[in-house]
Chain A
Amino acid sequence: MEREAMEFDVVIVGGGPSGLAAAIRLRQLAVENDRELTVCVLEKGSEIGAHILSGAVMEPRALDELLPDWKDLGAPLNTPATEDRFMFLSEKRAYRFLTPPQQNNHGNYIVSLGNVCRWLAEQAEALEVEIYPGFAAAEVLYHDDGSVKGVATNDMGRTREGEEGPNFELGMELHARQTLFAEGCRGSLTKTLFERFGLREGVDPQVYGLGIKELWEIEPGKHQSGQITHTAGWPMDMSTYGGSWMYHFDDNLVSIGFVVGLDYQNPYLSPFEEMQRFKTHPLIRDVLEGGRRLAYGARAISAGGYQSIPKLTFPGGMLIGDCAGFLNVPKIKGTHTAMKSGMTAAEAVFEALADESASGVEVAAYRERLEQTWLWDELYRVRNIKPAFHWGLPAAIAYSAIDTVLLRGKAPWTLRHRADHETLKPAAACKPIDYPKPDGKLTFDKLSSVFLSNTNHEEEQPCHLTLRDDSVPVKVNFERYAGPEQRYCPAGVYEFVEEGGETRLQINAQNCVHCKTCDIKDPTQNINWVTPEGGGGPNYPNM
């Protein structure tokens, strides 16, 4: 059977801040210049915002440029930042530090990024962008000359064994003159593009963090609208990169989360349990006690910054947003840079497509333009902060201060990264960590947490967590590293079970919240995350 095909000028893979900003900018330019230009956004979540998870404190710089009248248009940026606190935690106490200059949030807003995306999608639709949630781009299509032709959505209704089920529908091809990949951190198609076009040659490996977030409704008397708290220190040890956020916003809501650097070494570490343990600190417990947890979710973020930015363009397409990795780590923000990259890409693409025969061309002007924007300067200045954390927390803080204040980000050197999947030590060389039991009020187990992410996948479909070699999970992961996927997966997807004296890996793919951590941290890169049927995964409300 042949797949049906649809033709667009531009197809954008992913309906997050970068993809939607690019779509809006493209259509704005088309309207201003009175030119026909069809733009389509594919989103694997069941609706726009369903897979979006972020803190989030949003710097409105890019939004100001994109939609200067965003206030009148009803953008959900309702809570201005009022107070910044940077705390260092010991097990029982909290010490207030001078807030690092990058974390000054004056003029920023505490938002639900999911709701911001829902609103951006409305703006895009008003500009006649075609948005299709519930359809996952599963395959990159190529012209005979090797340039990108578009993408194909995956087949729907295949059985677990991969056969055609009773409701089977063949995937669709979406052809475009330019395809913008806006998949977010560790995009599954982006990964194949890196390889095919050698986009990572000569740059540092991307490094990542895993952010685990909970949304709480707290007692009204404790709510301090606009208060922003970041912490470092406990429960991480001095050699593990990690920290937390706590933001008070809207009506008695608190967004609380913990990020663990995925370059951690001890395979017994569980980011989920660290997050639970973190909430028992008096600083946090006092705020949350008496409240109720409304939502839960997790997502990996790209933390490599400047030296990990890959080649951004290739014939027929380009990378925008966090799948390229534009997060500003010391600022702990990436929405403004993601949007800016999308907008800049849109401008370059619009120019290139003025030539009506232009199809499958490489729009190198995107990067040239990007290098002239504030985004590039911003990422260049902070490039040495994250890698300094390899030396441990105290040295990193000291170095950061020197690099930021004395050298103003202009140090004549650039510190290097190494890939996160190479950092685990064998279990035999590490101490198991004894995490406290959940109390069901402040701390919880994984399953009751995943329950709050509203995650579901059609049960009868091929497993989207594929293994390159079926023997590796037991032979390497379990025997050498004590099965780290059981701990780093924040959704309880991976379980080693014993049956008749034999250990085997069980993959509960239905629970997957699409955070991509397994694809990143698996020590031999044996796990390959591919996209499941569109519409599957979490349904985050207000995240």
Chain B
Amino acid sequence: MKILVAVKRAIDYNVKARPKADGSAVDLANVKMSMNPFDEIAVEEAIRIQEAGNASETIAVSIGPKQCQETLRTAMAMGVDRGILVETDEEIQPLAAAKVLKAVIEKEQPELVLLGKQAIDDDSNQTGQMLAALLGWPQGTFACGVALADGGLEVRREIDGGIQTVKLKLPAVVTSDLRLNEPRYVKLPNIMKAKKKPLDTLTVDELGVDVTPRLTLLKAAEPPARQGGIKVPDVATLVDKLRNEAKVI
């Protein structure tokens, strides 16, 4: 089985995102960028499946500017066999990402596609679902457990109120949730080895995909400053305040 993992270069999770002074976008100048943490979990899962002897090849795909090469090198240092960068300086929204991935998948013919459930920059949670719909493949989203069973997959999903287990036929799309696994530390010699692994670059035009943004960003703004809390003397006052001041009950 061939596995393809999609990895996005996003603002690092330690960095406090801040809008530009003119509110036109989030300021990314010289800000640390890393692999989207949910995608890191997807990469780890792909490698674990391969290490268990159930995958013949693992491929990481990223879409974006040249610097996405670093993200792919990280995936390869973790253990993925090779990388594909679809290079573009355009803003890539979820639908465009799904279309580009579909085009790559048609070339590569993987049987399993793993993605993070969402990226921590725009929090859309759409690409995996859109991709599955475009491909007409079954999907297991919010996965917290993936097991191969009867030539297909058994995916445990985190849902409101518990865990749901679904059976999927291959080929399939799976998006990883936080508790699927804990990604490994990258080892130094593996970073060196990753530099020698194959990394192909494609363009959006070569794939013939229309990536025109469908959504317009109106404004980026800081969330309102949080007011300091107060201590109330008793439950009666609390209820009174919730009812009459906050008007939430």
Q: Is the CB of B189 within 8 A of A6?
A: yes
At the interface with chain B, which of A164-172, A335-343, A356-364, A385-393? A164-172
- Asked if A541 and B32 make an inter-chain contact with CB atoms under 8 angstroms apart, the answer reads yes
Closest beta carbon of chain A to B119's beta carbon, Å: 18
Residue of A nearest to B33 (CB): A47
**Those of A140-178 within 8 Å (CB) of chain B:** 153, 156-157, 166-167, 169, 172, 174
Tell me the chain A residues, 232-287 only, with Cβ under 8 Å from chain B. 252
B202 to chain A minimum Cβ distance, whole angstroms, is 24
Interface string of A106-139 (1 = CB under 8 A from B): 0000001011001000000000001010110000
CB pair A167–B185 under 8 Å, yes or no, is yes
Contact status A539-B188, CB under 8 Å: no
Q: Verify if B12 is at the interface (C-beta below 8 Å from A).
A: yes
Q: Which residues of A contact B191 (CB under 8 A)?
A: 132
A451 contacts partner chain B, Cβ-Cβ < 8 Å: yes
The stretch among A54-62, A430-438, A452-460, A489-497 that forms the contact with chain B is: A452-460
Which residues 10-25 of B have a CB within 8 angstroms of A?
Answer: 12, 14-16, 18, 21
Residues on the B chain within 8 Å of A156, using CB: 185
- A539 partner, pick from B18, B29, B32, B184, beta carbons under 8 A: B32
Task: From the candidates A4, A46, A112, A172, name the one contacting B12 in the complex (CB within 8 A).
Answer: A46
A67: interface (CB < 8 Å): no
* A30 adjacent to chain B (CB < 8 Å): no
A153-B188, A172-B189 given; A46·B30 CB < 8 A: no
A456 close to B30 (CB less than 8 A): no
Our pick among A167, A292, A541 for the contact of B184 (Cβ within 8 Å) is A167
A294 interface residue, CB < 8 Å from B?
Answer: yes
Q: Which residues of B contact A46 (CB under 8 A)?
A: 12, 14, 32, 34
> Using Cβ atoms and an 8 Å threshold, which residues of chain B touch A440?
225
Within 8 A of A (CB), among B164-202: 182-189, 191-192
Q: Is the CB of A169 within 8 A of B14?
A: no
B31 at the A interface (CB under 8 A)? yes
Say yes or no: is A505 at the interface (Cβ < 8 Å to chain B): no
Minimum CB–CB distance from B118 to chain A (whole Å) comes to 21
CB distance from B44 to the nearest CB of A (A): 10
Q: Which residue of B lies closest to A168 (CB)?
A: B185
User: Given contacts A6-B188, A112-B30, A541-B32, is CB(A166)–CB(B182) below 8 Å?
Assistant: yes
Q: Which of B209-249 contact A (CB under 8 A)?
A: 225
Q: Are A454 and B184 in touch, CB under 8 angstroms?
A: no
A217 close to chain B: CB less than 8 A: yes
- Residues of A273-308 contacting chain B, CB below 8 A: 292, 294
A-B contact count (CB 8 A): 61
With A and B bound together, what is the CA distance between A281 and B48 in angstroms? 59
**Are A114 and B185 closer than 8 Å at their CB atoms?**
no
For A157, list chain B residues within 8 Å (CB). Answer: 185
Distance in angstroms between the alpha carbons of A46 and B41 in the assembled complex: 19
Residues of chain A within 8 A (CB-CB) of B29 are 541-542
Question: Residue of B at shortest CB range from A114?
Answer: B30
Distance, CA A493 to CA B116, complexed state (A):
34
Cβ-defined contact, A541 with B185, below 8 A: no
Interfacial chain A residues near B187, Cβ < 8 Å: 4, 169, 172
Q: In the complex, what distance in Å separates the CA atom of A167 from the CA atom of B184?
A: 6
The interface residues of chain A lying within 8 Å CB-to-CB of B31 are 541
State A252–B21 Cα separation when bound (angstroms): 10
* Interface 1/0 per residue, A512-523 and B, CB below 8 Å: 000000000000
Give chain B nearest CB distance to A288 CB in angstroms.
Answer: 15
Kindly list chain A residues whose C-beta atoms are within 8 Å of the C-beta of B186: 134
Decide yes or no: A454 and B14 within 8 Å by CB, A47-B32, A153-B188 being known contacts.
yes
Instruction: Classify the interface of chain B: helix, strand, loop or mixed.
Output: loop
> In whole angstroms, how far apart are the Cα atoms of A311 and B131 in the complex?
63
Is A539 touching B12 in the complex (CB atoms < 8 A)?
A: yes
CA distance A18 to B115 in the complex (A): 41
Smallest distance from the beta carbon of B43 to chain A beta carbons, Å? 14
Bound-state Cα–Cα, A6 to B29, Å = 35
Interface status of A50 (Cβ within 8 A of chain B): yes
CB-CB nearest in chain A for B44: A167
Q: Are A130 and B192 in contact (CB under 8 A)?
A: yes
Shortest beta-carbon distance from B160 to chain A in Å? 28
Q: Which residues of B contact A130 (CB under 8 A)?
A: 192
- Picked from B16, B30, B188, B192, the residue with its CB within 8 Å of the CB of A115 is B30
Enumerate A427-450 residues with CB–CB distance to B below 8 Å: 440
Minimum Cβ distance to chain A for residue B90 (Å): 23
- On whether A539 and B14 interact (CB within 8 A), knowing A132-B188, A172-B189, the answer reads yes
B226 to chain A, nearest CB (A): 11
User: Contacts of B189 on A, CB cut-off 8 Å?
Assistant: 4, 6, 172
Asked if A454 contacts B188 (CB within 8 A), the reply is: no
Known contacts A166-B182, A541-B31; is-contact A456 B14 (Cβ 8 Å): yes
Report Cα–Cα, A46/B32, bound state, in Å: 9
What's the nearest-Cβ distance from chain B to residue A41, in Å? Answer: 12
B15 to chain A, nearest CB (A): 5
**C-alpha spacing A118/B21, complex, angstroms:** 24
Neighbouring A residues of B225 by C-beta, 8 Å:
440
Q: How far is the CB of B41 from chain A (nearest CB, A)?
A: 13
| Complex-state Cα separation, A167 to B12, whole angstroms | 21
- A4–B16 CA distance with the chains assembled, in angstroms: 36
Give Cα distance in the complex from A455 to B21, angstroms: 23
Residues of A within 8 A of B182 (CB): 166-167
Beta-carbon nearest neighbor of B182 in chain A: A167
A252-B21, A539-B14 as given contacts; A172 in contact with B188, CB under 8 Å: yes
Distance of A285 from chain B, by nearest CB (Å):
20
Of residues 69 through 123 on chain A, the ones whose CB sits less than 8 Å from some CB of chain B are 112, 114-115, 118
Q: What 1/0 mask marks residues of chain A from 34 to 50 whose CB sits below 8 Å from any chain B CB? A: 00000000000011011
Contact A455 B14 (CB under 8 A): yes
Q: How far is the CA of A294 from the CA of B31 in the complex (A)?
A: 12
Contact of B16 among A118, A172, A454 (CB under 8 A): A454
Tell whether, in the assembled complex, residue B21 and residue A541 are in contact, meaning their CB atoms are under 8 Å apart. Answer: no
Name the CB-closest residue of B to A42: B188
The answer to whether A217 touches B12 (Cβ under 8 A) is no
Q: Please, how many angstroms separate the alpha-carbon atoms of A440 and B31 in the complex?
A: 24
Interface centre among B18, B29, B30, B182 (most CB of A within 10 A): B30
A47–chain B nearest beta-carbon distance, Å: 6
Q: How far is the CA of A134 from the CA of B73 in the complex (A)?
A: 15
Q: A49-B30, A542-B29 are in contact. List 7 more A-B contacts (CB 8 A).
A: A6-B188, A118-B30, A156-B185, A174-B188, A252-B21, A455-B14, A541-B30
Closest 7 A/B residue pairs (Cβ): A156-B185, A169-B185, A456-B14, A172-B188, A454-B14, A454-B15, A541-B31
Binding site for A on B (CB under 8 A): 12, 14-16, 18, 21, 29-32, 34, 182-189, 191-192, 225
24 inter-chain pairs at a CB distance below 8 angstroms, sorted by A residue, are A4-B187, A4-B189, A49-B30, A50-B32, A114-B30, A115-B30, A130-B192, A132-B188, A132-B191, A134-B186, A166-B182, A167-B182, A167-B185, A169-B187, A292-B21, A294-B18, A452-B16, A454-B12, A454-B15, A454-B32, A539-B14, A539-B32, A541-B15, A541-B31
